[in-house]
């Protein structure tokens, strides 16, 4: 992890900036699936999910594009935590060994 700390932090920073800036570019029009459901006249048969963590990509109680930007940052954080957690679990499962492939760092040492 320490070896890749700067790469990971840079990636998170870029993903966060994309999430924040995309909030102001988001369209207010319905997405493709919702639009087709409206055109084909079966939108009224749709059912709401049992729960919504971030309904319509917003944070309840926060208005406007700021709400969408915060929801995007939360999404980036959740995905990053899941990816890093999976990486730690896989590394622990291997006992901290590298893959031994090219570029493993100790190629040629025997």
Is the Cβ–Cβ distance between 26 and 72 less than 8 Å? no
- pLDDT the model gives residue 110: 46
Beta-carbon contacts of residue 30 (< 8 Å; ≥ 6 apart): 38
How distant is the alpha carbon of residue 52 from its chain centre? 16
Q: How many residues does the chain have?
A: 110
Looking at residues 47-59, what average pLDDT do you find?
85
pLDDT at 104 over 80: no
Domain ranges of the chain: 2-43+51-93
What's the distance, CA 42 to chain centroid? 30
Strands (E), the chain: none
Q: What is the mean pLDDT of the chain?
A: 83
Q: What is the CA radius of gyration of the chain?
A: 21
């Amino acid at each position: 992890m320490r070896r890749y700390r700067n790469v990971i932090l840079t990636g998170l920073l870029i993903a966060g900036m994309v999430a924040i800036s995309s909030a102001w570019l988001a369209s207010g029009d319905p997405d493709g699936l919702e639009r087709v459901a409206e055109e084909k006249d079966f939108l009224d048969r749709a059912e709401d999910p049992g729960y919504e963590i971030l309904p319509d990509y917003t944070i309840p109680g926060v208005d406007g594009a700021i709400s969408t930007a915060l929801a995007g940052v939360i999404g980036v954080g959740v995905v990053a935590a899941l990816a890093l957690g999976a990486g730690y679990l896989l590394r622990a499962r291997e006992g901290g060994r590298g893959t031994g492939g090219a570029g493993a760092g100790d190629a040629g040492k025997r």
